[in-house]
């Protein structure tokens, strides 16, 4: 599936979840999905828990996060000697 088609699965609407990016047709925010996966929920568990959710929706969350970070500059943290 192309990046454009994946990203069409993520929408933002000020009337849904205060405008946070969500998986289209759901109230599942990208942040929530990435957070539960980061804390050990498996893809299979997530798909079983939320009927209608597809693997492509999860891929779209990862791609959206990656694209969102594309323009962010990170500064290395340097410990200062006391």
Helix crossing, 55-69 with 30-38: angle to 10°?
A: 100
**Mean pLDDT to the nearest integer, 74-82:** 73
Q: Tell whether 73 is covered by a domain.
A: no
CATH classification of the domain holding 59: 1.10.10.10
Total number of domains constituting the chain:
1
What is the pLDDT at residue 4?
A: 94
Tokens at 42, concatenated: 């498996």
Q: Tell whether 79 is covered by a domain.
A: no
Segment 20-40, tens digit of pLDDT: 999 999 999 999 999 999 999
Domain range enclosing 24: 3-66
Could you tell me the pTM of the whole model? 0.83
Q: Tell whether 78 is covered by a domain.
A: no
Q: How many helices (H) and strands (E) does the chain have?
A: 4, 2
Q: What are phi and psi of 23, to 5 degrees?
A: -70, 130
Q: Tell whether 38 is covered by a domain.
A: yes
Q: How many CB atoms lie within 10 A of CB 47?
A: 15
Task: Find tokens 């893809």 and name the residue.
Answer: 43
Question: What's the N-to-C CA distance of the chain in angstroms?
Answer: 52
Q: Tell whether 75 is covered by a domain.
A: no
Q: Tell whether 77 is covered by a domain.
A: no
């Amino acid at each position: 599936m192309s990046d454009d088609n994946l990203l069409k699965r993520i929408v933002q609407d000020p009337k849904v979840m205060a405008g946070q990016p969500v998986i289209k047709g759901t109230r599942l925010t990208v942040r929530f999905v990435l957070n539960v996966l980061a804390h050990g929920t498996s893809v299979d568990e997530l798909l079983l828990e939320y009927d209608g959710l597809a693997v492509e929706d999860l891929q779209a969350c990862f791609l959206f996060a990656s694209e969102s970070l594309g323009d962010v500059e990170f500064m290395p943290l340097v410990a200062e000697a006391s």
